[in-house]
Each structure stands twice: as structure tokens, then as C-alpha cells.
Structure 1
């Protein structure tokens, strides 16, 4: 059984969406769409800070890590992008070494796009269960740098942000127990993931049904229904997609935590964990509450995880 032992986030300084108009090549109409319709207001940017520094800033805030380094068996990098630094730079190893975790097995998971954060959580739980040590821990690091035009925005969908998250995972004794997990990939044989032309039309057609599929599967595994959820912590892609999803799934609008869409925009696969940290700080979760994390990524990857607080 997998549990969240501690979750932390780091939010760099933000800039307004219209400040990115020139660098992203946005038209006035696109700026209005992102801000007035999609609900994006500010974007986390740290152009002078390397990825390792941003990840370390999140990990450094983790409660329960200092003094417990020997318990960490795995350090897992959840990458929304396949490549996040030029060879031979390895931000993950830099963070591992800075935290004193050289003994931990260290690797990255990718290719689920922005749903990779929840994939990393499932991988961590599987490895810890196989170890059989009730004191073992895994550290997940999530969030990416927006180094290239491809990574800075998804046309007419969202603008990418550079906030990060760190998640300490245990084999079942934490306060947030994983009760159900589901993931699906509706990929293409040619491997294309860019949301342009017919690919964009296919993504729009598929999105809501595929999202409903993984959410329903995760809820079924947890043995609960939508009405039992106290909160939904989605990825912060835009307000429209989640308003539609809430209606389709029968989730009350008030249960869908969307505040960070305006505050941080879309932070790759770190979003659900950033949202978790926010609702915890706001005291929105009570003991016994069930809540859902869910994400979707380029390449038509979808994931959902149900927890009990």
C-alpha cells in the first residue's frame, strides 16, 4: 500500500501572460483567450536558475527528509519532457548528491507527458512494496524547465510554467493512502504528439472520454464514487477543460480545485502535487476525506489516483 509521507513545492517568481506575448509570438486574440477564457493570469519563470536548483528548492522544503536520508531507497525524476538538460548535465544526480542520497537508486520516468508525475507515484509504490521494508522511502521530483519554444506553450491550450514539486512516498503508513490508480495511453503508431492539424482535432475528440475512463477506473479500484470525493486536484492546463470535465463526471464545481491555474499556470507533471500542497496549507482536507489527482499529457496519456487523507 502506497502513501504520501510529505509533499512540498517551489513556486518561482511570476510574470503576467501578456509579458510573454512577444517571446511566444502570441496575438492579441490568443492573449485574451488564455487570460479571459482559460483563466491563466501569471506564469512562473526562473530564466537564470538551472533545473537542479529549482528541484532542490522544492526538495529542501520536505518535512521528514532531513535526518532520514538513509531510508530513501529510490530517487525518481518525473519528466514531462524527455530531455530537460543538455548532455552531459544531469540535474537529477546533482539534486540527489546535494541531498546526501548517493546510496539511492536513481532514475527517471517519462513518455507519459504531464501524466508522468502520477506514473512515478505508481512506480515508487510498486518498488517499495517489492522491497518489503516498512521504513523505506522514495523521493519523486517533478517539474521541468521551459528551455525551448516547444516546451514553453501548447498552442491554444496552455502556457507552461517552471514551478517544481517534491514528493516523499512510503509503503503505506503515511497520512495520505493511495486507494486507486489508473493510467491509459491512446497513442499513435507513428509516435507523433504535436497538437497541430488533424492531431489536434483527434486530441479534442478523445480528451473528455479518455479522462472519464481513467477517473472512473481509479474510483472503482478505490471502491468509491464521484460523490464521495471531497476535492479534485487536476493539472492546471486551463479552466475550460476542467469546467467541462466536472460537468461530464458529475463533480460539483466547488470540489474542483482550480485556483492555481491563475496563480501558476501549467507546471508539467508537478501540478497535482502543487495543488495538494496548496489545499493542505489552506486546511481544505479533513481526516478521512477522499480526493482525486488527475492529469493528461501530450501523446494522449491520462492518469488518475484516489487518496484518503
Structure 2
């Protein structure tokens, strides 16, 4: 069956508290209060040395070391990031990693046009490659690193941290079946944070609707009702956003599981996997549970992917 075999997250050890960053982020006392008290942010992970592509390779190595046999079947490597450029000019970001693990023959593609919803774009693309037998196995890599400290604050939303994640998917997975994946972009805020204030305010008020719609679309494709999801592992935007989405979906807010938000911040496309990793470490998933990733990106981009844990159904 199509699903993921293994995944790993790279998170730097260094942390900066939101309060200590008040001046460099240009926060007012009220903005600081909202971020910490209402949005649930305490600190962010900070990578002082590695580039984003180095962080990707670190996460990829963790998966590779645990799965050397399955890695031999990887014929596609898809990677994503939110910010451009993410490597210096004329640097091939993953060439060293490919040579290290004998993946020189794998096709490498950057899939990064949906900002912080690009992780679900990776899942969507990988599912198509595996379903149509264009690939035996696909390695997904995601990372973001903030180059300028004062750019970590996303107005009225969150504070960004640094992290990376890697996922190995195959047609021969046994425990985590990829049931459905849905993505959507309406490009109403194509200028992102540079949009007109009026447009930015509209996005801030309306993105909850887009999240509800993409969740329902993914569930419809999966043939599931919302109450059949045991957990949703979202991006670490802020806790207020997910409380509102839970209310709109008519599900308990505890369905949204994001324990890494206070400690790591919004690590962009690595977020849902950081939260899934915490769920597996804490053993809160049971065999047969359905769960989903849920992402939103600036520019009105949305993604949702549904998985089932412990399924043994053959495809």
C-alpha cells in the first residue's frame, strides 16, 4: 500500500524566547502579549550555522541510516521551502547528500510554490507518482531557515523557527497508509506579506474558511466523516487559529495536536511532522486511527493529507 515508511525531523538545539526578541522583531507590548498569551508561543528554534539545504540533508540522513535497503528504491527526491532563495547562487543543494547515499540517479525536483502549505503539495505529488507507478519510492525533504532575525515575525500571526523534516514514502508501506491528499490555491494574496494592508487583513480574516474547505475536500476523497479523525497535526501557526478551525468543523479542540508550537515556533513545512513525531513518541495514536496534516500558506494556499495508522490493506 502507498504510505510512509519512516520520517525524521532535525531541530537545532538553540532557542530564543519571544520576549528576548521583542526589540529586534519590532513588537509592541500588546503584540508580545498576544503572541505569548493568546497564540501560545514561548520560544523559537534557531539554527546558527547550517543552511536550509544542510538541515534537509541532516533529516534525510536520519531516515537513510534507519532504512538503507528501502532507500535503494528511491527514484524521486522532492524538496520544499517557503523562502527564496534558500541556497547560494549556483549551489546544487542536495548533490552531496545524493552522492553520500548512492542517489545520483534519483530525479530531484523543488516543489515550493505553496508557501507553508507546500508539505501537503509534496504528499499530493508523491501520491500521484506512486499511484501511477512513476516511482517505487519517494523521499520528501522540507526545511526553512530565517536569514534575518527581524523577519521571523509574521504580522498578526506567528513567529518563525528553524527546522527540517524528511519522509520516505513507498508503494510497499505497511503501517501508515496515505489515504487522500488535497491542495488548493486561490492566489488572492499573491504578493504575500507585501500585499496591500486591505488584502492582508482580508486573508487574516478568511483563511479559516479555506482550511475548513480543504479539510472537507480531503475527507470526501477519503470517504470519511470528520469525527473519524483521531488527530489533526497542523502547522504551528498559533493556537487561536486552530481553536477557531476546530469550532468551525464542530470537533473538540483537542483533535488538533501541536505540542511543539510553544517550544519551536512556526517551522513552516516541517511543523506537521514535528507534531506527528511528538504524537508517536507519546504513543497517542492507536492501530486503525485516521489522522491528517493540515497546512495554510500566505497567498491563500491550503493543504490536507489523510493517513491511516496500522492499516494492512494491500493495494
Aligned mate of 1:113, from 115, 119, 136: 115
Distance 2:139 2:101 in 1: 11
Q: Is the 8 A contact 1:77 1:92 kept in 2?
A: no
Aligned residue in 2 for 1:11? 11
Per the alignment, residue 61 of structure 2 pairs with 60
Distance 2:131 2:305 in 1: 17
Aligned residues: 306
Could you tell me which residue of structure 1 aligns to residue 72 of structure 2? 70
* Structure 1 residues 256-306: Cα deviation after superposition (integer angstroms, max 9, x where no partner): 102111121111111111111111111111110001110000110001111
Q: TM-score scaled by structure 1? A: 0.93
Q: Which residue of 2 aligns with 1:270?
A: 270
Structure 2 residue 92 is the aligned partner of structure 1 residue 84 = no
Q: Which whole-Å deviations, capped at 9, do the CAs of 1:56-106 have from their partners, x for residues lacking one?
A: 221222264324432111111122224212202232334333333211111
Confirm or deny: 8 A CA contact 1:18 1:31 kept in the other structure: yes
**Is the contact between residue 208 and residue 245 of structure 1 (CA under 8 Å) also seen in structure 2?**
yes
Between the aligned partners of 1:86 and 1:214, the Cα distance in structure 2 is 35
SS in 1 for 2:72: helix
The secondary structure found in structure 2 opposite 1:91 is coil
Gapped runs of 5+ residues in structure 1? none
Residue 49 of structure 2 is aligned to residue 48 of structure 1? yes
1:83-142 CA-to-partner distances (Å, cap 9, x unmatched) read 212202232334333333211111110110111011011111211233366xx2111111
Match of 2:62, SS?
Answer: coil
Q: Please, which runs of 5 or more residues in structure 2 have no aligned partner?
A: 310-315
SS in 2 for 1:61: helix
Name the CA distance, whole Å, in 2 between partners of 1:274 and 1:196.
33
Distance 1:151 1:105 in 2: 33
RMSD: 1.9
Partners of 2:173 and 2:59 in 1: how far apart?
23
Map residues 232-243 of structure 1 onto 2, 5 A cutoff: 232-243=232-243
Change in CA separation of 1:227 and 1:200 when aligned onto 2, cut-off 3 Å = same
- In the TM superposition, what is the alpha-carbon distance from 1:24 to its structure 2 partner? 1.9
TM superposition score normalised by structure 2: 0.91
Change in 2 beyond 3 A, CA 1:286/1:43: same
Q: Kindly report which structure 2 residues correspond to 1:134-283, keeping only aligned pairs within 5 A, or say none.
A: 136-148=136-148, 152-171=152-171, 173-188=173-188, 191-194=190-193, 197-283=197-283
CA distance in 1: counterparts of 2:203 and 2:132, whole angstroms: 36
CA deviation after TM superposition for structure 1 residue 196, in Å = 5.3
